[in-house]
């Protein structure tokens, strides 16, 4: 199968490598000429996946039309806040009439749209059946190193999910399927907020008890918002919920946990972001999730605490103190 992967960051490159190694003819689109030239000449993405060779049947281009014209299937791995620009400009969405598997995680700022809602708005209801969403515990570097990984793919056209699974499935990468698109998307978005929270606690050296509490009560928050939006509760017990949450909140490769860790150690958000080359989706998602919860009347206390630390300059210890001072309640 001919596949185009849109986005040459760490996850896009890892997915391009995975599908190429599965025998597909893969063309990776990069918005950066320097990245594309480096991949072409060195067979390596030294910025995002250093020291990991890329297969010869993985091509690279900076021509978006060339990428989508190549494709019988598209894999999208662009940052959430760039999706509208990438697909909404130059009538690009109208040119795409093949299945599209989205690996972005987050909530769009201002509109508060989940990624699935954003793609549906851009592409239109008539193309909804072509949209699939990949999420779950999957660090790009570990995928690229062929460490055993299991993820979930959600789709509106459930009858086509087995064919989409086959594209990714191999001896080290296992793809499960579900019809719960909203649950998968919400789990993938909010786990990044909780990773910032656990990172803050770790930066403050508050110990394992605190980390476990944040992860567990964070899952309760995700499920609470999910119920309001029509997700299936059991989705949050699976790979796209608890699985991704645990990985992102505890793994050293987590960009969002790293942001929280440095905040807890006293750095400002501006200082942290100036040092990072990769996007920490949890930062804009925190603001979007907080505003969405306010609009829907859903109580998300950990999300609110992270929001006030990131955007209202609230000291981290004060936010923790406020959380612990909340009234007692049944679990």
CB 76 within 8 A of CB 6: yes
Q: How far apart are CA 106 and CA 114, in angstroms?
A: 7
Catalytic residue among 17, 105, 127, 191: 191
Distance CA 140, CA 209 (A): 28
Q: Please say if 128 is a catalytic residue.
A: no
Active site members: 191
């Amino acid at each position: 199968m001919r596949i185009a992967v849109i986005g040459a960051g760490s996850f896009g490159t890892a997915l391009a490598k995975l599908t190429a190694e599965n025998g597909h003819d893969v063309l990776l689109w990069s918005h950066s000429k320097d990245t594309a030239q480096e991949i072409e000449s060195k067979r390596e993405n030294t910025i995002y996946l250093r020291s990991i060779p890329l297969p010869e049947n993985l091509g690279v281009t900076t021509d978006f039309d060339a990428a989508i014209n190549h494709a019988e299937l598209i894999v999208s791995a662009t940052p959430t806040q760039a999706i509208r620009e990438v697909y909404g400009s130059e009538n690009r969405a109208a040119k795409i009439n093949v299945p599209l598997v989205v690996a972005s995680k987050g909530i769009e700022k201002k509109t508060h749209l989940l990624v699935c809602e954003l793609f549906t708005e851009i592409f239109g209801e008539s193309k909804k059946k072509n949209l699939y969403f990949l999420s779950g515990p999957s660090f790009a570097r570990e995928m690229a190193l062929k460490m055993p990984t299991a993820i979930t793919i959600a789709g509106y056209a459930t009858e086509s999910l087995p064919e989409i699974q086959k594209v990714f499935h191999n001896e080290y990468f296992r793809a499960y399927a579900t019809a719960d698109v909203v649950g998968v998307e919400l789990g993938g978005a909010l786990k990044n907020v909780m990773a910032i929270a656990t990172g803050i606690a770790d930066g403050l050296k508050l110990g394992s008890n605190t980390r476990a509490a944040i992860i567990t009560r964070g899952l309760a928050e995700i499920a609470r918002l999910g119920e309001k939006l029509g997700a299936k509760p059991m989705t949050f017990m699976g790979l796209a919920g608890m699985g991704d949450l645990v990985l992102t909140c505890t793994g050293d490769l987590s960009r969002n946990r790293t942001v929280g860790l440095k905040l807890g150690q006293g750095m400002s958000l501006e200082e942290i972001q100036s040092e990072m080359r990769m996007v920490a989706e949890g930062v804009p998602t925190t603001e979007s999730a907080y505003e969405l919860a306010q609009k829907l009347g859903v109580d998300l206390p950990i999300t609110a605490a992270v929001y006030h630390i990131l955007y209202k300059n609230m000291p981290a210890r004060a936010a923790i103190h406020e959380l612990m001072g909340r009234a007692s309640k049944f679990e």
